[in-house]
């Protein structure tokens, strides 16, 4: 907006309405920086036009707003597609970073969508096979991804009474062997010293720590 346009405005409410109209015409990606530039130009020109009790006249300030043709993209797709075939197989880390940047520039597209784009662009198998690893490393996608389904337990029916099913196992501690017995229903545990790993030693330890007090169980589970 220049000084000639301000002569048609003439008042602050009209200026505010003009600002609102200018905001709607700005793209979302460049709205903050271009808004500040345009508002600064309008304020400086308005002070020059109306001479709002300034002690000294401000110099005319003209901020150069880059047009669409003057802007260079940070992420160059041509360079990326030219480097990917050379990096695949030799430097997979850099190739994954480029694919991750492509994933982010495509508004965090899914793995299959990015893979389809790479295939249509003529990328070899060594390139688009890295799509899954690159997309899975995106922090934003991991943050806002849906939680997976809860695992469903499909096993045998657990016991409902004490000493119906017990589980036994051997473990070593400080150079000695111990027998650990757990009741499946109540999770009650008993551990005792076992002289060895032979059957007679295990049966002796089981008789001494469990059967002596609670009687024989209906089922004994052990590996």
Mean pLDDT of the chain: 75
Local structure of 143: helix, strand or coil: helix
What pLDDT does residue 47 have? 52
Is the Cβ–Cβ distance between 48 and 5 less than 8 Å? Answer: no
What's the mean pLDDT in 196-220? 92
Helix or strand run (H / E) with residue 170: strand 165-173
pLDDT at 137 over 60: yes
Q: Lowest mean pLDDT of 61-65, 87-91, 109-113, 177-181, name the range.
A: 61-65
Q: Hey, which residues does 152 pair with through a beta bridge?
A: none
Q: How far is 56 from 60, CA to CA, in rounded Å?
A: 12
Element (H, E) at 11: none
Do 177 and 194 meet the contact criterion of CB atoms below 8 Å apart? Answer: yes
**28-39 pLDDT, tens digit each:** 554 445 555 565
- Predicted TM-score (pTM) of the model is 0.38
- The predicted pLDDT at position 183 comes to 94
106-132 burial code (b ≥16 CB/10 A, e <16) = eeebebeebbebbeeeebeeebbebbe
User: Does residue 142 carry a pLDDT above 50?
Assistant: yes
What crossing angle do the helices spanning 31-50 and 12-25 adopt, rounded to 10°?
Answer: 160
Answer yes or no: are the C-beta atoms of 207 and 191 closer than 8 Å.
Answer: no
Tens of pLDDT, residue by residue over 69-122, are 444 545 678 888 888 899 888 888 999 999 998 998 888 888 999 998 898 888
- Residue 24 has a pLDDT of 55
55 pLDDT tier (thresholds 50, 70, 90): very low
**DSSP string covering 95-140, please?**
HHHHHHHHHHHTTS--HHHHHHHHHHTT--HHHHTTHHHHHHT-HH
Residue of 178 and 66 predicted with greater confidence: 178
């Amino acid at each position: 907006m220049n000084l000639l346009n301000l002569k048609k405005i003439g008042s602050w409410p009209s200026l505010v309405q003009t600002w609102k109209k200018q905001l709607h015409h700005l793209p979302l990606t460049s709205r903050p920086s271009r808004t500040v530039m345009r508002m600064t130009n309008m304020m400086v020109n308005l002070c020059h036009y109306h001479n709002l009790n300034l002690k000294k006249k401000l110099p005319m300030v003209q901020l150069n707003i880059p047009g669409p043709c003057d802007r260079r993209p940070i992420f160059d797709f041509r360079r990326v597609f030219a480097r990917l075939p050379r990096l695949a197989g030799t430097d997979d880390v850099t190739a994954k970073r480029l694919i991750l940047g492509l994933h982010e520039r495509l508004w965090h597209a899914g793995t299959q969508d990015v893979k389809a784009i790479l295939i249509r662009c003529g990328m070899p198998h060594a390139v688009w096979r890295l799509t899954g690893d690159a997309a899975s490393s995106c922090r934003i996608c991991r943050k806002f991804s849906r939680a997976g389904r809860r695992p469903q337990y499909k096993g045998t029916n657990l016991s409902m009474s004490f000493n119906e099913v017990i589980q036994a196992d051997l473990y070593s501690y400080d150079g000695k062997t111990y027998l650990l017995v757990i009741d499946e229903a109540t999770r009650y545990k008993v551990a005792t010293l076992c002289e060895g790993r032979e059957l007679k030693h295990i049966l002796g330890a089981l008789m001494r720590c469990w059967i002596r007090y609670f009687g024989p169980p209906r089922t004994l589970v052990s590996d």
